[in-house]
Amino acid sequence: MLWEDKVVLLTVLFIHISSLTAGSGEGQDNVQCAALNSTRWLEYRRQRATLQVQYLLLTRKNSDCAQRFNQDLVNKQSYFSFSHPTKVIIHGYRPLGSNASWVTELAQALLRAQDVNVLVVDWLYGASSAYNVVVENYKEVALQISVLINQLQKHGSKPESFHFIGVSLGAHVAGFVGTLFGGTIGRITGLDPAGPMFKGADTYDRLDPSDAQFVDAIHTDSDYFGISIPVGHVDYFLNGGQDQNGCARSRFATMFGYVICDHMRALHVYVSALNGSCTLMGIPCSSYEDFLKGSCVDCGVFKGRCPVIGLSENSGISVSPLPKEQKVFLLTTSSAPFCAHHILVKLEVSPLDKSAEVEVMLRTESLGTEYRFKLQTAVTVYRRVLAHPAALCEIHSIRLKNTGARFYRQADVHVKSVCISALPVLRHEEPLCVNNINIRRGAPWSHDFVQVCGTL
């Protein structure tokens, strides 16, 4: 698709989005509460106003009712606390100056998790032109933010107490603020950092690990609006980082759902991680294909501690020096809380004289996960990582089925062993194995496990 076509598409999409969000009206009747500037883009254009960044402040004292915040208010009455860390939320591209309902959701999730100041950067005007014009604006936005941060520092906030969370293009805005502070900012989290016009950019112009003491990024749409290269110390590629479960993939689905669903998934997964109902852990690996093939099964490069999405310091890893641009992979489910259990299936068969296909199904009550192994004559050992909704110890049965083509006689398959283990693989844990199985066409084999989840 030509770049111009994409811009047109984007514009159409955002008209759709703004019509969806317009009526949602959170905190409707309280006129005192500040909101993202909703002045229409066209009005701005008429006024020829220059880019002006505005800020909203939310704290535990006013989590339902944002306060306008600017450097003149630093000394005056404000909920801002200099003894608390500060989270700075930066949104991305929004062509029609509509506000973003997720902003409140993210801010409130942060406040539930930690007692912090949440500053929401409102640059809707700057983010509301054609994408290429917006990209020209983003450094100006970063400059204006850095003036405010400087001011807050003069009053006692430490650079390391700032954590920027940038969505899409907002991630590169955060990166440039980081560059302006020489990497002294505490942390930057990029939620599907924007790809178009940034992938080939110099690290000075995009988010990179030198922008903060710790940079993490979540990638969910790296083949379209997201960036495909790692940009942080740790980069989580969810389901490979391109296409997300539950986002319509058919040609007949609306482009709206298709495009925005993948891109915005990073944000929803992050909010879910902040909610803290389960752990979203990544496994380091050089590629998604190798990860799926079970070539990467532990977090040895991090001395055994796997990075976890969320607010724990340095994603929970404690190696020094920190890794750079380390890709980590995880599979997710299609809806909140998104956590899946990674189960490695290892199948070993006796040599075959023709190719065959075997389906493996893991069951936990009504939940099933299946995968079809395509067996070749030259290979006898197969591995695959599956996302199962329950833990290994809750798997009640495993079923194997010979699913080879009907049209030629497929021989029986002799399975020497089928083993399952949970990722990350821990040294003292033995896989669960069943040995010596013959599976004939039309006669599925299944085995029940009697297991109890460990209470040590």
Ligand X SMILES: *[C@@H]1O[C@H](CO)[C@@H](O)[C@H](O)[C@H]1NC(C)=O
Q: Provide the annotated active-site residues.
A: 168, 192, 263
- Residue 194 or 271 with smaller CB distance to ligand X: 271
Bridge partners, 57 (sequence order): 67, 119
Q: 174: buried, middle or exposed (CB in 10 Å: 19+, 13-18, 0-12)? A: buried
| From 11, 37, 63, 242, residue interacting with ligand X (rule: CB under 6 A) | 37
Six-digit token string for 284: 């380091």
- Residue 165 or 385 with smaller CB distance to ligand X: 165
- Residue 257 or 337 with smaller CB distance to ligand X: 337
On whether the CB atoms of residues 207 and 168 are closer than 8 A, the answer is no
- Residue 336 or 434 with smaller CB distance to ligand X: 336
Contact stretch for ligand X (CB under 6 A) within 24-32, 238-246, 353-361, 424-432: 24-32
Give the number of other CB atoms < 10 A from CB of residue 368: 13
> Is position 26 an interface residue for ligand X (rule: CB under 6 A)?
yes
Q: Is 208 annotated as a binding residue?
A: yes
Query: 114 phi and psi, to 5 degrees?
Result: -145, 150
Binding mask 250-289 for ligand X (x = CB under 6 A): ------------------x--xx--x--------------
Q: Mapping DSSP to helix (H, G, I), strand (E, B) and coil, where does residue 39 land?
A: coil
Q: Where does residue 27 fall: left (phi above 0), alpha (psi -120 to 50 degrees), or beta otherwise? A: left
> Is position 36 an interface residue for ligand X (rule: CB under 6 A)?
yes
Give the number of other CB atoms < 10 A from CB of residue 393: 14
Give the number of other CB atoms < 10 A from CB of residue 142: 23
- Tell the smallest beta-carbon distance from residue 37 to ligand X (Å): 4
| Amino acid (1-letter code) at residue 155 | H
- Tell the smallest beta-carbon distance from residue 360 to ligand X (Å): 31
Q: Which of residues 312-341 bind ligand X (CB under 6 A)?
A: 336-337
Contact stretch for ligand X (CB under 6 A) within 36-44, 187-195, 256-264, 430-438: 36-44
- Tell the smallest beta-carbon distance from residue 159 to ligand X (Å): 27
Q: Which of residues 105-134 bind ligand X (CB under 6 A)?
A: 109
How far is the C-alpha of 2 from the C-alpha of 263, rounded, in Å? 19
Q: Which residue is nearest to ligand X (CB)?
A: 35
On whether the CB atoms of residues 344 and 421 are closer than 8 A, the answer is yes
| Residue entry with tokens 């013959």 | 438
How far is the C-alpha of 103 from the C-alpha of 109, rounded, in Å? 10
Q: Which of residues 49-88 bind ligand X (CB under 6 A)?
A: 49, 52
- Residue 38 or 446 with smaller CB distance to ligand X: 38
- The b-or-e profile of 415-451 (16+ CB within 10 A means b, else e) is beebbbbbbbbeeeeeebebeebebebeeebeeebee
Q: Which segments within 2-82 are labelled E, that is strand?
A: 54-58, 67-69
Q: Is 211 annotated as a binding residue?
A: yes
Contact stretch for ligand X (CB under 6 A) within 85-93, 99-107, 235-243, 283-291: 99-107
Binding residues for Ca(2+), by number, are 206, 208, 211
Binding residues, by number, are 206, 208, 211
Task: Name the residues that contact ligand X, by CB under 6 A.
Answer: 25-28, 35-39, 49, 52, 99, 103-104, 109, 268, 271-272, 275, 336-337
